[in-house]
Structure 1
Amino acid sequence: MRLWYQSLTRADAWPAYSAALRRMLAAAADPGTEFEVHGITRRGGIGDQYRSLEFIETIEVLENVARADASGFDAILLGNIADPGLRAAREMARVPVLGLCETALLTACQMGASIGLVVSNDKHYGRVMENVAAYGLSARVAAVERMRVERLVDLDAAFSEGAVRERILGEFQSAAAACVARGAEVVIPAVGVAMVLIAEAGIVEAGRGAPVLNGAIALLKAGEAAVKLNRLMGGRFTSRRGAYAQPPPEQIEELRRYYGPVFPAVRAPE
């Protein structure tokens, strides 16, 4: 199977993270699973905790979703904690589309009865908690704690030994322990880059038996499972009723006159 992993990071601004992510996915992928990691190349890629910047980057994400779908990838994984464009991508693509935040939360629900989230800063807090509420999981979140990473690209420096790494890992461990003290049974580092950093540092427990979930690996393994389910279900993994319904074939030519080559999988009646 072929998986497209879509990041919201720009490779030249996050070189250490980009390399670490690829190493980690390669080590975790099942035999026969191929994956490609794609980031932001045109505009942005460093400040997606701000809504306006995330919006700009989401345009490229959705274009890449269409590209991946047309290129024969079996699933698309949106590797950003905001799940940018997730609902729109599911509506458009023929193949399963999974989001990092939704997948991490649902996986954590299978691991423990209550969840703790460690976000990077106050701005990220609101964005992540909106997703929690949208997914109907507010009651499962026992605690949210913050690190102090206002400039997200500082996380890339933490992949190298030094004071930045010690500070950020220490902040995470303190925040994770605070989540456990408030009742969390599973802790999620609620930043895509931090997930990889913390996993590479070998931090797998927050104390008192509470695991730290590596959401990027959970996303990869959920993607593999979704591909297998999609095949077993005859390509019906994504519901086409309601939220992810596509335009009726008899309307598609009219829509394309006004919007361009949208919904490439929808065929007009002959």
Structure 2
Amino acid sequence: MRPALLRFAREISRRTDGTRMERQDLEEEMAGHLEATFSRLIEEGHTEQEAEELAMSRFGDGKRIGRQIQQALYPYRREMILGLSAGSLLFGFAVFFSVLLTAWSAYIPWLILCSLTGSALLALAVDPPASLNRRFVLNGLFLLQTGVLLSGILLTSAVPGNAGSILAMAGWLLILLAMALVYRTSAYDYRTRRVRLEKHDMAINAANVTTGILSVSISLFILWAYLAFSDGTDRVWMFALIPALFWALTYAAQWLLLAKGRVKTAYGITGLQIAVIAAALALFFRIT
């Protein structure tokens, strides 16, 4: 196999999602087609370098082919992410200016965070880097965006009349879209290569999606409360990171345990996540 042709095929396969085995199969299939074209061009009298360049040129643009394969494998996901990113950006600016004009409060940090997450989703939908761990990055952004949207819905309470209700409804619709994308990414688009553990992977993924949404929401609520009621001279805002960091660390630990086949311990950590979040929510409702 010609190294240049193999690199070309690998670059295309890396632009698609799925397991490493699935990408390897795709890479081998494309490399076989390229090698066959290369052989025919050599027989026609071309030099090896010319044959390589012509074979890749006739195959097509690598980025475009990768996107087409990705779209065929995961239909409508790109459109869903584009809708979430565009909707979140519009929601962010609408909430910010509505609160600014009615309550004379400027939540600039929230607007910046909303804009950053929405822009990151837009960039991933348009042209995702080939080297990214898409499952981890996408799920992280979806969960973060869900928390940002929840914070935005809280801010809409300062907007009087129907405008506040409409903004809140738009926020909830975007949250439903984000949650649908999270569950799709976790349970459908990225199936595990460990067939023996597939049902456990999916169950723990579903639990982690739910606990992740709650954890990030708690973190952002604490941050919102700090921004709303603090004078900004202390470092209480750092406590807002604890729920999200706790979830991220336990999530990573679960995958390490599953990789080693320690299913019961992984489920035990899921139970710990649920217990901690339940305790935090119970404490919150008791205080309020």
TM-score by length of 1: 0.30
Higher strand share: 1
Larger Rg: 2
Higher helix fraction (1 or 2):
2
Larger relative CO (CA 8 A, sep 6+): 1 or 2? Answer: 1
